[in-house]
A and B are shown apart, each in its own frame.
Chain A
């Protein structure tokens, strides 16, 4: 029984949604990463509070202005990114590129605001190192890395759109990039609530 594939009937070409599936699993990995860190953060905060301690040191003030601005920037970016998807489905590459470029710009704004926020908070400088500071820096630092990765993905998607790789017949790349971006907004929403609002 030495069969070759020619002995089996030929199949039509496979339908590829490969970028979407891969992005789905990449998002799952990223969410688990943040879930793990949030788990540690919430557990440690509960322990400190149960012992009657103060989680955020008394001298440290976490301003809510910048996180509020960041969440609004990110919420608006959802609509902008959806505009890119809408445009590519109609072969409107000009607007797709405009939307992707605007989203990258919004990502840069998030980075600038985050850096400014951390510099104003002075988590370590005001009170010395604390476990809260370590965990907040880990969460926010990881988020900055995730945003930079998102901006790089958008940049590559933009280049590929410019080169004509994506259009109404092949939207997977732009949709995949948008899914990753939406997941970033979701993660920041959790940071905003769990770390900054309910501090």
Chain B
């Protein structure tokens, strides 16, 4: 056999073993590659984030008036409510969840050394079902559908179409089923595809946080789906009685955006920060198992399927709810303490992803602290026996915080912490995901814009909560009982500036992705492992080849590359 013959045979073998790659639209539509599916989630998640923040801005604009004139008039309270509810559903289901699923779908097989995601066709089906469902939902809300109306009406004359409403319900049900399917593929991947030597306690923190988050979603989202189906069956009837009454619909579903449930969508914040900060400090994470326990505890404290005020009006004063609201701050605080300890003991290198990760942790901590504040009234109520006027006054004042826009502030802080953490993840893993580094300065700027935006927007809701502005801002009587309407409106102007900053922050990220990745201006040369990452995803090419790894590895720690590299 000549040398040339050997070379030819070798080439033939290579081309035979290489999987068929289909590019373009056909490749995108037909792909079962977890990396492509992950990128699609991220692209649409950022688009959805921009849409929901624009809606957030419009709603803020409506809450401001100059003299007796409202700056933006939605025409009817129904249309305001439809926009309000869409801003919540889209922020959660069109931005936060797809960004988390996108990063997880892309990275988890890589982090655990697997060649692919479990059930790749189910993962692709979940993505397309999610995209179709959320698109139909957005369209139907603009076509006078949505998830209910704010106040009782005798007919649909106020701009609500029953067929569009029905489609809104079914499309959001489709979105939830898709999320459940995606969660099952991720959790099955983490549990069954790990390499030899990697126990659950040696999982990278992002994978661990995804395991906890998807586990909680699998246990709680079906309950929400059940609420949705009850409302739909009643709505379909000739004469809706209770659950399908459009004025009752949102009240049955709103628990998903309230504490403690809202923290279930912020669990990956800990995982992403737990990946970025030790690498930035060039130091292995101290007390690793305790950090995992912290993530698990946040998961347990975010199980909110029981906290449904529509069916149990007293839940806000009940012990389990109050205790969960009070102690949710502890795992976040402990986790942040562990990260700061690692950072202080290491040699931190300042970068966009480090700043974004720290900001996201800070925002989550504030969310948990506000949550504790909002339930402190009922918590202190147990010592109301003490004969003290001033103490009783404080307790009653704290109790009145429930049902105000403070609940909105908790939601904003938790969900926007998730968005900022996802952006931190994008800047950290962009060499792995796209093959290009994103622009560090733009990342810092977007992080500061979103942080400033959240401080103003979430902070204004916190202050207005103290001024007794109702959480149901869509109701005609939302301003009844507030301390000072002028003060509330002034604070809302500050909130509006916050909304603009939030839009600016996410727009910068999209702009950076377009210039650095699509236009190819990002740094490609150092994309292989630019941060000296510790976990397995950095042990393969950037972006990884089909099949991810040349050989499945054996690992003996949660940071195999750090230990192998001998940098400890």
Q: Which residues of A are at the interface with B, using a C-beta cutoff of 8 A?
A: 1-18, 21-22, 25-26, 28-30, 32-37, 39-40, 43-44, 124, 128-131, 134-135, 137-138, 141-142
> Would A21 and B191 count as touching, CB distance under 8 A?
yes
Q: Is B561 part of the binding interface, using a Cβ–Cβ cutoff of 8 Å?
A: yes
Contact with A along B113-126 (1 / 0, CB 8 A): 11000110000000
> Which chain A residue lies CB-closest to B234?
A134
In the complex where A18-B118, A29-B222 touch, is A40 in contact with B113 (Cβ < 8 A)?
no
Cβ-neighbour of A36 out of B196, B226, B538 (below 8 A): B226
> Would A4 and B185 count as touching, CB distance under 8 A?
no
List, sorted by A's number, 16 A–B pairs whose CB atoms are closer than 8 Å: A1-B561, A5-B540, A7-B539, A8-B539, A8-B560, A9-B553, A21-B191, A21-B192, A25-B183, A32-B218, A33-B225, A36-B224, A36-B225, A39-B223, A129-B237, A129-B240
* Apart from A5-B553, A18-B192, A134-B233, 6 more pairs, CB < 8 Å: A1-B567, A4-B540, A12-B196, A21-B191, A29-B222, A134-B237
Q: Is B202 part of the binding interface, using a Cβ–Cβ cutoff of 8 Å?
A: no
Q: Is B508 part of the binding interface, using a Cβ–Cβ cutoff of 8 Å?
A: no
> Would A11 and B195 count as touching, CB distance under 8 A?
yes
> Which chain B residue lies CB-closest to A32?
B222
List chain B residues, Cβ under 8 A from A9: 553-554
> Which chain B residue lies CB-closest to A28?
B218
List chain B residues, Cβ under 8 A from A7: 539, 564
- Size class of B's contact patch? 35 or more
> Would B233 and A3 count as touching, CB distance under 8 A?
no
> Would A5 and B539 count as touching, CB distance under 8 A?
yes
A141 to B195, CA, bound (A): 42
Q: Is B184 part of the binding interface, using a Cβ–Cβ cutoff of 8 Å?
A: yes
Q: Is B180 part of the binding interface, using a Cβ–Cβ cutoff of 8 Å?
A: yes
Q: Is B532 part of the binding interface, using a Cβ–Cβ cutoff of 8 Å?
A: yes
> Would B188 and A25 count as touching, CB distance under 8 A?
yes
> Would B192 and A29 count as touching, CB distance under 8 A?
no
In the complex where A30-B222, A32-B305, A36-B227 touch, is A14 in contact with B552 (Cβ < 8 A)?
yes
Say how far B59's CB is from chain A's closest CB, in angstroms: 30
A124 to B549, CA, bound (A): 60
Which residues of B, 439-475, contact A by the 8 Å Cβ criterion?
none
In the complex where A8-B564, A28-B218, A33-B225 touch, is A22 in contact with B119 (Cβ < 8 A)?
yes
List chain B residues, Cβ under 8 A from A124: 237
List chain A residues, Cβ under 8 A from B80: none
Contact with A along B529-563 (1 / 0, CB 8 A): 10010001011100000000111111100001100
A156 to B122, CA, bound (A): 15
A33 to B221, CA, bound (A): 8
A57 to B203, CA, bound (A): 55
